[in-house]
Homo-oligomer: A and B are copies of this chain.
Amino acid sequence: MTRPAAASGAVRQGTLRELNLAVVLGRIAAAPRPPSRADVAAATGLTRATVSAVVDDLIAGRLVAESEPAPRAGAGRPARGLVLAGTGPAGLGLEVNVDYLAACVVDLTGRVRHHTVRRADLRPLSPADALARLAALAAAARADAQRQGLTLAGAALAVPGLVDAAGLVRLAPNLGWRDVAVGDLLAAHPPLVDPVPGIPPLVVDNEANLAALGELHADPTGPASFLHVSGEVGIGAGIVLDGALFRGVRGWSGEIGHLPVDPQGRPCRCGGRGCLERYAGQEAVLAAAGLAGADLPADTAAARLADLAAVGDPAARAALAEAGRALGVAVAAVVNLLDLDTVVLGGGYALLTPWLRPPVLAEVSRRVITAGWSPVTVRPSALGPEAAVVGAAGSVVRRIVADPAGWLGRPG
């Protein structure tokens, strides 16, 4: 328990207030039931007087609110529970995908307070034009947040591609983007948020990463480690290990779409052969189901396939069985390598789980060496295609909770 501090040296005195703010707010955020000030003191080892002073600061800063007293056994006045406030700072989530733009606002309690999706084929647009449309969506979201008394403290943008540490989109193959400086292009438009010290105004990240984070935080009682596979035009994975996203050495992890499921098979636009995307990506599945060229947005395509499969359409059933088999080969490889016990099917796959799960599990039980005694759960995403944009907004909220001092100390 004390090792991390030991390894990194002594606690600097100057940060004590910041530390106490973060400890108390973190405890309130993580508590299964609204805790009293005494509960927080007991859980953190801080004195009651310190906790009370810190809680007063957090309430004044609209980060914490007092709930109605909970009924309580035993003597004494029932204590009022502390909860995260839904009236202060909020996070802006944005998404650019192949066939839609989205914006959403999530408050500190995790509630979605605004959500807009605009369908459009983004492929013919330049990055600047696509981002101009996104900026308009963001401005509408900000105005709506302000009407609700919320302050947008930061934004995160999900893109279907590889993003470097500086926020440059190195490659988004299905959008045709290469080396797009999203932040610079958005700087031509009104600011997305009200800047807060310590909170980056805009973080750009891979959609599969943000979707996995959205899923992680949508269910705090769920597993701390899992593989989240987003099925869209491309297939991306977010690898969550011990409650944190695993990004890889340079941030490019999760390219499950290019795992070989048939190394001498169909050529892929990545230059390889037999990549998963060519067998279980949206275009491959639609083609196999006889819907080639239907050019449907991802969620509509999934709904259409689900409808057909539900009424027993043989082509749709066969297409999903084949996609599930390919997905199962890739999932089995991931489980053999990383020993994860939970696989979440997200994006367009969420709706299709009833048909994808059996072939995925069949490949897992055939190919995973520990399958005999270590069962693997395959389940649909709770958020489905909204996971990335909700996860983006949530990532801002968690940054505020982890480091509330900047918000409390902001000018104005």
Query: Which positions in A face B, CB cutoff 8 Å?
Result: 1-12, 15, 19, 22-23, 26, 43-46, 162, 170-171, 173, 223, 225, 237, 239, 241, 246-256, 258-264, 270-272, 275, 329, 332-334, 336-341, 366-370, 373-374, 402
- Identify the interface centre among A9, A44, A223: most chain B CB within 10 Å of its CB: A9
Given contacts A255-B368, A334-B337, 7 further A-B contacts (CB under 8 A): A4-B4, A162-B370, A239-B338, A246-B338, A259-B333, A270-B369, A337-B337
CB-based contact A339/B248 at 8 Å: yes
The 10 closest A-B pairs by CB, nearest first: A248-B339, A4-B4, A10-B45, A5-B5, A272-B367, A255-B336, A252-B339, A253-B339, A252-B370, A6-B19
User: What residues on B are CB-neighbors of A336 within 8 Å?
Assistant: 255-256, 258-259
Per the bound structure, the CA–CA distance linking A402 and B7 in Å amounts to 9
> Which of B5, B254, B262, B264 is close to A337, meaning CB atoms less than 8 Å apart?
B254
CB-based contact A341/B246 at 8 Å: no
CB-based contact B339/A249 at 8 Å: yes
CB distance from A22 to the nearest CB of B (A): 5
Contacts A256-B337, A260-B329, A367-B272 given; indicate if A9 touches B1 (C-beta within 8 A): yes
CB distance from A170 to the nearest CB of B (A): 7
CB-based contact A22/B3 at 8 Å: yes
> Which of B8, B170, B255 is close to A4, meaning CB atoms less than 8 Å apart?
B8
User: What residues on B are CB-neighbors of A340 within 8 Å?
Assistant: 248-249
Contacts A333-B333, A341-B250 given; indicate if A367 touches B270 (C-beta within 8 A): yes
Per the bound structure, the CA–CA distance linking A385 and B272 in Å amounts to 33
User: What residues on B are CB-neighbors of A173 within 8 Å?
Assistant: 369
CB-based contact A239/B11 at 8 Å: no
Complex A-B: 25 CB contacts under 8 Å: A1-B9, A2-B5, A3-B22, A4-B8, A5-B19, A6-B23, A9-B23, A9-B44, A11-B11, A239-B338, A248-B340, A250-B370, A251-B339, A254-B339, A255-B337, A256-B336, A256-B337, A258-B367, A258-B369, A260-B333, A260-B367, A261-B263, A263-B329, A270-B369, A271-B366
> Which of B26, B248, B258, B271 is close to A338, meaning CB atoms less than 8 Å apart?
B248
Per the bound structure, the CA–CA distance linking A289 and B11 in Å amounts to 60
CB-based contact A260/B171 at 8 Å: no
CB-based contact A260/B261 at 8 Å: yes
Per the bound structure, the CA–CA distance linking A292 and B374 in Å amounts to 35
CB-based contact A369/B162 at 8 Å: yes
User: What residues on B are CB-neighbors of A22 within 8 Å?
Assistant: 3, 6-7
- Identify the interface centre among A43, A170, A249, A337: most chain B CB within 10 Å of its CB: A337
Contacts A170-B373, A367-B260, A369-B171 given; indicate if A339 touches B6 (C-beta within 8 A): no
- Identify the interface centre among A22, A247, A256, A336: most chain B CB within 10 Å of its CB: A336
Residue on B with the closest CB to A275?
B367
CB-based contact B15/A2 at 8 Å: yes
Per the bound structure, the CA–CA distance linking A59 and B398 in Å amounts to 45
